[in-house]
Amino acid sequence: MTKWVYSFGDGQAEGSAQDRELLGGKGANLAEMCGLGLPVPPGFTITTEACAWYYAHERSYPPELERQVDAALAEVARITGRRFGDPRNMLLVSVRSGARASMPGMMDTVLNLGLNDDTVEALAAESDDERFAYDSYRRFIQMYSDVVLGLDHEVFEQILEDEKAQRGHEVDTEFTADEWREVITLYKAKIEEELGQPFPQDPREQLWGAIGAVFSSWMNHRAITYRRLHNIPASWGTAVNVQAMVFGNMGETSATGVAFTRNPSTGENRLYGEFLVNAQGEDVVAGIRTPQSITEAGRLESGSDKPSLEKLMPEAFAAFTRISARLEEHYRDMQDLEFTIERGKLWMLQTRSGKRTAKAALKIAVDMANEGLITSDEAVARIDPASLDQLLHPTIDPKAERDVIGVGLPASPGAATGEIVFSSDEAEELKAQGRKVILVRVETSPEDIHGMHASEGILTTRGGMTSHAAVVARGMGKPCVSGAGALRVDTRGGTLTALGRRFSKGEVITIDGTTGQVLAGAVPMLQPELSGDFAAIMEWADAARRMKVRTNAETPADARMARSFGAEGVGLCRTEHMFFEGDRIVAMREMILADGETDRRAALEKLLPMQRSDFVELFEIMAGLPVTIRLLDPPLHEFLPKTEDEIEEVAASLGIEAERLRERTEALHEFNPMLGHRGCRLAVSYPEIAEMQARAIFEAAVEAGARSGSQVVPEIMVPLVGVTAELDFVKARIDAVAADVMRERDTRIGYLVGTMIELPRAAIAAGAIAESAEFFSFGTNDLTQTTFGISRDDAASFLETYRRKGILEEDPFVSLDREGVGELVRLGAERGRAARPDLKLGICGEHGGDPASIAFCEEVGLDYVSCSPFRVPIARLAAAQAAVRNKA
């Protein structure tokens, strides 16, 4: 026969913390505390399996359930010496839901269940406090009607407010017992009027009503939404916890409170919590009365003149400190506790691992490892890598008021404040005057690089998580909110319209790239701190991980930043980003507009020294670490001006006819540039471009090598290869240039030529490609785009709908799609390694900075991940966690 009900009480329990799946988090921990001999009011837990049964059988109960509940109630009666429904010796209970994971969307609690017109008298007599008894009864009616009978609590609030006003009371505590009696009569009349039946007087009916309400709440709208947001399967179900009541509101020697064994916002190792004298659970969170500090130290810190629990009830306080220390040691984690003191006696009502800020999580993990409570690997495993984002950037002070005017995608973390500008040139001008700006665009293009550099943050109204703005901003470590579709940008008029409010150029806004919010005005910020606990966790992570972590960087500033975050080389230098700055774009355009190869080579000659000095600097910053340089990737038209005004201007500066520029732009126009003339296809059409880049790389390697006295071994990466012959064609040119430079400089240069695997065909043909390639770097941005056939630039407009409708759980451009794209990565890695066992494997798509994707990379056995500079610490931690998990 199935066991549906698990009892606990009197130092014994049928379940334990191991039974979380069956008993839910709350039930399992109540059982555990009981098993430890801690003072827990006796009770029982109806299992999550009963909930599953309930839904599988048209919301009915398993036949044996009633008998098992009765037996458990009898056990509670034995322990407490009270009986459910007995007016001479009544047992009152609380009923609470409790799923495997804590779920705020569900029914929470019904207290004082079992009260009725008879038992309330008994409670009054027993407590010798009529006021307390009737107050408890009216609370019960209110709570039960709300969560079980579905009567909006507003109905009761209204009655209460009217009564208060009529009697001239300011607060609830001024009601006398008789007045509460009258309120109760009004409540009951209202219930009958609304529901057509009286408030249930039979405690058993009340109990089964509450049990049904808990099970039903599993499928309420809030719970369903919460589950969807947190990936909790509907099949888990909730447990029901029924427990003998203890009263924190039985006079001045009673109290109720919540506490954390360490400070959840700073992590400080000191008991931290609040309580209220003469109050019941919900009063502490309801915020009607101001709670008092548990410890004297906490009271002094808050400057409160209300006594601490330590002073007020020293014995209960001493017991509570002992128990909280014991629980923390037992669970080996910071605990979030609920307790009640009934006439001086302490009762524990809940323990669970406490939620904490990123900063507190670091401190607690490091402290606990140093205290010997956990190992350094466990400390590493306890930090959510994504939460490090909060620590690497300035963040909005959580206490600050937020005047939110719009929300977009959290494209690049951190917060920034500045004056609105609508063009990159303006951004640069104002920056030169020492002003701080936010660049606001419909979307950005490579021509905005200088403006993005000059601004504090970037806001776009179009584009997704891998849009140009998002990728470049992350690379630069600048906050970015992308795709804020509800905002309207009028570039010509110089206005930004949001929620009907209009903001002009020069007005100050703040963007929060961690949440995607756009706010009016300046907002107080907190600055990052990278030493101390952060450094300790990183050191332990580095000791635990197998994969290397490189960075995607091209500018010296990014490369330096990445090194300071612990990058172990460059995994992707997107050389096209080096062609936009200053006078380079002019030479680049000359090259694109050149008539024939001779002219083109002449223009390339101008670009060569600029590229070379870029690479020298990069090699020097990365001193001795590997640097992967990718040959030019985007289609050429990206470098040409777009609007008529820009065309006129550029034509004038190049000294050519606007008409010719227009013609060339049109000739280069593509319907699908992402699938067009880009990547190695450019190098096949114009080998001289690849040759110039190769020469710049080799000459820079020689120069940097000579300066540092140690050899630089560049890794040259060919993008968007689909067939081996493409790679062979380009590699032959690279090898020829290498031979030339070696001859000219009379030196030897070590180098590797490899390719990106970013097309399905390349992954499938990886065996053949590896015959020519010395390394692979999985370009999972393009690989995702081409595997799904979803444009990375247009996906944002419908992917959110896909997620909302449950078709895709995650944006595959953010977190690697294991089933499809991941299989191609696995296949590419296997086939590549089979052909060339020492093939070096890495990833440089945006997924290289995403913890879940990094875990996948560890499983597949990649040698390194590469990500934007600010993601480097996240990747170090995620790689360590993946390695520890894989070892286990």
Comparing CB distances to ligand PEP, the nearer of 281 and 477 is 477
User: Which of ligand PEP, Mg ion, none sits in contact with 845, Cβ below 5 to 8 A by type?
Assistant: ligand PEP
Q: Which stretch binds Mg ion (CB under 5 A): 492-500, 544-552, 771-779, 793-801?
A: 771-779
Binding site for ligand PEP (CB under 6 A): 572, 574, 633, 758, 779-782, 844-845
Binding to Mg ion by residue 849, rule CB under 5 A? no
Nearer to Mg ion, 22 or 844 (CB): 844
| 782 near Mg ion, judged by CB under 5 A | yes
Q: Is 857 a catalytic residue?
A: no
Cα dihedral 40, 42, 48, 51 in deg (nearest 10): -140
CA separation for the pair 411, 516 (Å, rounded):
7
Question: Among ligand PEP, Mg ion, none, what does residue 679 contact (CB within 5–8 Å per kind)?
Answer: none
- Token duo for residue 247: 């009263």
* Nearer to ligand PEP among residue 427 and residue 573 (C-beta): 573
Kindly state the smallest distance separating residue 757's Cβ from Mg ion, in Å.
10
Residue 769's binding partner out of ligand PEP, Mg ion, none, with CB under 5 to 8 Å set by partner kind: none
The Cα–Cα gap between 182 and 194 comes to 18
- Selected range binding Mg ion among 74-82, 339-347, 603-611, 757-765, rule: CB under 5 A: 757-765
Residue closer to ligand PEP, measured from CB, 379 or 721 = 721
Q: Provide the token pair at 353.
A: 């691992």
Radius of gyration of the chain (CA): 33
**Amino acid found at 839:** L
Candidates 817, 716, 723, 822; CA nearest to 778 is 822
Closest CB 796 distance from Mg ion, rounded Å:
18
Judging by beta carbons within 10 Å of its beta carbon (0-12, 13-18, 19+), is residue 251 exposed, middle or buried?
middle
| Closest CB to ligand PEP among residues 127, 780 | 780
Exposure letters 803-827 (e unless 16+ CB within 10 A, then b): eeeeebeebbbbbbbbeebbebbbb
What is residue 638's DSSP assignment?
G
Q: Which of 521, 495, 320, 297 is nearest to 404 (CA)?
A: 521
Q: Which does 572 bind (CB under 5 to 8 A by kind): Mg ion, ligand PEP, none?
A: ligand PEP
The binder of 780, among Mg ion, ligand PEP, none, by C-beta within 5 to 8 A per type, is ligand PEP
Q: Where are the beta strands (DSSP E) in 699-807?
A: 715-718, 752-757, 775-778
Instruction: Supply the DSSP symbol for 794.
Output: T
512 forms beta bridges with 415, 517
What's the one-letter identity of residue 314? Answer: P
Q: Shortest approach of Mg ion to residue 283 CB, angstroms? A: 58
Residue closer to Mg ion, measured from CB, 248 or 779:
779
Q: Is 842 in the site for Mg ion (CB under 5 A)?
A: no
- Write out the H or E segment, with its range, that includes residue 857: helix 851-860
Using CA atoms, how far residue 317 sits from 91, 268, 279, 780, in Å, is 27, 20, 17, 56
User: In the complex, what is the shortest distance from the CB of residue 846 to ligand PEP, in angstroms, rounded to a whole number?
Assistant: 7
Residue 574 binds what, of Mg ion, ligand PEP, none (CB under 5 to 8 Å, by partner type)? ligand PEP
Q: Is the dihedral of CA 214, 216, 220, 224 positive or negative?
A: positive
Task: Using the rule CB under 5 A, give the single segment among 87-95, 113-121, 444-452, 754-762 that binds Mg ion.
Answer: 754-762
Shortest spacing between CB 784 and ligand PEP, in angstroms: 8
* CA 18 – CA 837 distance, rounded (Å): 44
**Residue nearer to ligand PEP on the CB measure, 821 or 884:** 821
Q: How far is the CB of 772 from Mg ion (least distance, A)?
A: 19
The binder of 284, among ligand PEP, Mg ion, none, by C-beta within 5 to 8 A per type, is none
Active site residue 844: yes
CB of 797 to Mg ion, least distance (A): 21
CB of 434 to ligand PEP, least distance (A): 33
Q: Which residue is nearest to Mg ion (CB)?
A: 782
Q: Which of 51, 480, 573, 844 is flagged as catalytic?
A: 844
With CB under 5 A as the contact rule, the residue among 705, 779, 812, 851 that binds Mg ion is 779
Residue 638 touches which member of ligand PEP, Mg ion, none, C-beta under 5-8 Å by kind: none
Which one, 254 or 787, has the nearer CB to ligand PEP?
787
CB nearer to ligand PEP: pick between 82 and 574: 574
Which is nearest to 237 in space by CA: 419, 400, 354, 101? Answer: 101
Q: Which of 393, 468, 637, 847 is catalytic?
A: 468
Which helix (H) or strand (E) segment is 645 a member of?
Answer: helix 644-654
Picked from ligand PEP, Mg ion, none, the partner binding residue 24 (CB below 5 to 8 A depending on kind) is none
Q: What's the min distance (Å) between Cβ of 581 and ligand PEP?
A: 18
Long-range own/partner contacts, residues 293-302 (CB < 8 A, 24 or more apart): 294/257, 294/259, 294/320, 295/270, 295/271, 297/270, 298/270, 298/272, 298/273
Residues tagged active-site: 468, 844
Q: What residues line the site for Mg ion (CB under 5 A)? A: 758, 779, 782
